Amino acid sequence: MKNYFLPVLALLLGAGTARAQVPALSSYPTATAVLFLDFDGHTVSGTSWNTSGPIFCAPSGLDNSQITTVFNRVAEDYRPFNLNVTTDSTRYLAAPIDKRMRVILTPTYQWYGSAGGVAFVNSFIWGDDTPCFVFTGLLNYNVKNIAEATAHESGHTLGLFHQASYNSSCVKTTDYNPGTGTGEIGWAPIMGVGYYQNFTLWNNGPNSFGCTNYQSDLSVITGNNGFTYRTDDYAGTFASASTTTFTNNQFSINGVIEQSADQDLIRFVQPSYGRFQLSAVPYNVGTGNAGSDLDLQVTLYNSSQAQISIYNPGGLLSSVIDTILNAGNYYLKIEGKGNVYAPNYASLGSYALEGTFTEGIPLPLRQLTLQGQLNGDRHQFSWIVDADETIVSQVLEVSTDGRSFAPVSQSATADRNFSYKPFATGNLQYRLNVVFDNERQYYSNVVRLPNTANTPKPRIINNLTESNMISVNSPGNYVYMVYDFNGKTLARGILVAGINTITAKGMTGGMYMVRFSKDGQQWTEKIVRQ
């Protein structure tokens, strides 16, 4: 039906800027379906909006740099799909009429009223060129907010309703799910309100029509609009892994994680013993990986396809590797993951890999292996150093983010073990830094150990339940999420100190997961619904 539309929230009014000559940009030129971002003004007539005559829309009020930033943010939101996001009207006009949408970005809002934007649900496939609108002036000409509103309103035209929020009693708290968290990985649904979070994604959660009315954004977008996902660019098996080679001791790769189960396997050949460094960065438009839709995880494997280590800093969307490898074949597995705030549902988008090799002296070191384990509240380590050279120093280093390492202890050159009680909490990463008398420096493998032994955390009072009620004893305010083994979220909210009762409607017989999180840490427990 064509009389149902949904606005997104508006921000404060602000002053506009001069009209710009719009650059011609396209995210996926080979796609048939088109999402046209119209920045230079348009007259709307003969559509379902025109109940009182033509609508004369002024240009967006954005300059070329702002237009490009908005385009890049929106293009990344829609990167997984076989859809061309474009600022080029000729591509829009060449697309099939039932596979295109014009998004008019304009300060002209008076005909409608105060809102960030407005759209008819499902209008992408109507075939009558009914547009949707984003009101740039009411969004204070803020490129982040304009981009979020553009992706949001476009989502409505593709059939999406709002991602809403409900409390534990299934009472709606807001039509616009604001997400949770802070910093680089602070998260919100695109179809909620993404103005205030860095990391905005498509979501599988309850919509505006009830706490049990789950809306899988990805399924809706790809289900009835004449397009699905892009073709996978890199195979997900070791046998079919793409091979990259070092040129001047470097390689570069660009890829896209198109679907939640997508894994890109890349094979590389380390020419000789030496240091391997990798920077894995999701597409972004600024510092802190702004505008990214992908939380990257990288796994390193040896030639036998045995896992060496997983790299996924908890507080960052990017990942890095800095390790010593022998000559031989290695594999990198690239995938999108959730984090303490964001679900693992739609961490999708494009990324860039930059690999660097630094050659070491052949065979001065036959083995440098670090092992670690939990022993009560202590982290206990042992290591093997098999080398011809004499050790000058050996330092155990720790990192909380996978990037910056700091010394924990400098052991005597004859020592091969060490233990201590860590102060930092969360998943800690350790490596051994060894320097020999030939002035060569080497790093061991990275060992990851959690430090949660003495950390207060919520506890489920009874892991067996005959209802949809879960009792939790919490030492304070913690975020909780109840979900099934398909990743579907059944309940989420905030615990308070003391006994809490969580209502997770939709649980039937079987096992479910309850995740608690706070300050970058998370704990998961299982519960059985009898």
Which pLDDT value is given to residue 59? 97
Rounded CA separation 353/49 (Å): 46
Report the half-sphere exposure of 147 (CA within 13 A, side-chain side): 27
Alpha carbon of 361 to those of 101, 276, 383, 387: distances in Å? 59, 14, 21, 12
Rounded CA separation 188/203 (Å): 9
The total of structural domains in the chain comes to: 4
> For residues 61-82, b (16+ Cβ closer than 10 Å) or e, as one string?
bbeeebbbbbbbbbbbbbbbbb
Structure tokens at 295: 């939380």
Residues 488 and 443 in one domain: no
Rounded CA separation 152/160 (Å): 9
In a domain, 231, yes or no: no
For residues 77-94, give the mean pLDDT: 98
Classify the C-alpha dihedral 94-98-101-102 as positive or negative. Answer: positive
Residues 340 and 388 in one domain: no
Domain that holds residue 505: 459-529
In a domain, 141, yes or no: yes
C-alpha angle 337/343/344, rounded to 5°?
35
| Residue 70 phi, psi (nearest 5) | -60, -45
Structure tokens at 287: 């510092």
In a domain, 236, yes or no: no
Which of 331, 359, 387 finishes a domain?
A: 359
- Write the burial class of residue 316 (CB in 10 Å: 0-12 exposed, 13-18 middle, 19+ buried): buried
> For residues 420-448, b (16+ Cβ closer than 10 Å) or e, as one string?
eebeebbbbbbbbbbbbeeeeebbbbbbe
Residues 292 and 200 in one domain: no
Judge whether 449 and 490 are in contact, CB under 8 Å.
Answer: no
Residues 113 and 213 in one domain: yes
Which pLDDT value is given to residue 19? 46
pLDDT in tens, 274-289: 889 999 999 999 888 9
Q: What do you get for the CA distance between the two ends of the chain, in Å?
A: 42
Q: What is the CA radius of gyration of the chain?
A: 26
In a domain, 230, yes or no: no
Residue 21 DSSP one-character state: P
pLDDT in tens, 124-158: 999 999 999 999 999 999 999 999 999 999 999 99
Nearest to 412 by CA among 398, 392, 435: 392
Q: Does residue 403 register a pLDDT over 80?
A: no
pLDDT in tens, 226-270: 999 999 999 999 999 999 999 999 999 999 999 999 999 999 999
pLDDT band at 521 (very low <50, low <70, confident <90, very high): low
What single letter denotes the amino acid at residue 186?
G
Residues 249 and 106 in one domain: no
